[in-house]
Amino acid sequence: MVHPKNYKWFFEVTTPVEGHFHAVVRTIFSLQSKYQEMEILETASYGKCLVLDGRIQSSVEDEFIYHEALVHPALLTHPGPRSALVVGGGEGATLREVLRYGSIRRAVMVDIDEAVVEACKRLLPELHRSAFSDPRAEVRYEDARAYLERTPERFDCAVIDLTEPLEEGPACLLFTREFYQIVADRLTEDGTLTLQAGMTKVNELGFFTALCRTLAEVFPVVAPYQTFVPCFGTPWGFACASKGSDPRALSPETVDARIAERIGGELLYWDGQAHRHAFSLPRFLRRALEGQERVITDARPMIVA
């Protein structure tokens, strides 16, 4: 065991007054792209990690928790998904989970940062597992909002895997009521949407609750949920939204049956019990959601400190 003082340490700031230390074995890659700062670090606890603008996005050891929680509620809730849209998700793991469904005939991934995606293709094969070369996949390097405003295509499911807006800029316009309306217009009649929605820790609920409140302006069904992602060091929020189907109406038995029917291979995290647990929010979180009145709009975007 290496003595702690012999490691280099990466300090991830999670809030203006908190953070999380990771012992770093080595820095594998670093890049300043046109849009963001990227690093791939090998950490002592979680193996290789993708870091964007100083915040960990995925680790090899526990990414299955985040990506299974992000993707499967949308695709299991839909009665029979055949097409999917992925917004962001540069490391390819979100696309990978979508493509595990045999019914999916087409999956379009839209990410603005080609440099990051290409680096992940080369250096993080443990995450994408050749998803980029799947003939059902199409990867587009452009602004997701511009793409959706232009395309006539409609999708059964959409999965939004974007980092929170840390400063005012184009990314802010991918978290607004107007953007979610564009997404809704590009979904089919039974369409479902999931997205990562930030931390669900005490005293840091503003982004999560405002995002859910904003989705409710567009979608008749909005189901917030959470799970704990170890390498993030905090519980993490998600939301599933749809035009009618409600993931909370699925029994554990139904979830398990759909997983067995629809997905190749076993899931490591998500099953019927995990599904029921994730959507069973604690009282303080339900109260915070009920009390939130903030709607995020193009004119009044939200910045995460």
Residue 263, phi then psi, degrees to nearest 5:
-110, 135
Q: Which position among 161, 256, 271, 298 bears the catalytic label?
A: 161
Which of the 8 DSSP states describes residue 297? -
Distance CA 50, CA 56 (A): 6
Distance CA 293, CA 56 (A): 30
Residue 161 appears among annotated catalytic residues: yes
**Secondary structure (DSSP) of 159-189:** EEE-----SSSGGGGGSSHHHHHHHHHTEEE
Buried b (16+ CB within 10 A) or exposed e, 257-290: ebbeebbeeeeeebbbebbeebbebeeebeebbe
Q: Are 222 and 248 in contact (CB under 8 A)?
A: no
Residue the block writes with tokens 């217009």? 185
Spatial CB neighbours of 218, under 8 Å, sequence gap ≥ 6:
177, 180, 181, 184, 241
Q: The tokens of 39 are what? A: 């690093």
Distance CA 263, CA 267 (A): 8
By 3-state DSSP, what share of the chain in percent is helix, strand and coil, each rounded to 5? 35, 30, 35
SS (H, E, C) 16-47: CCEEEEEEEEEEEEEEECCCCEEEEEEECCCE
Assign 196 to helix, strand or coil: strand
Distance CA 193, CA 181 (A): 12
By CB neighbour count within 10 A (0-12 exposed, 13-18 middle, 19+ buried), where does 123 fall? middle
Which residues have a catalytic role annotated?
161
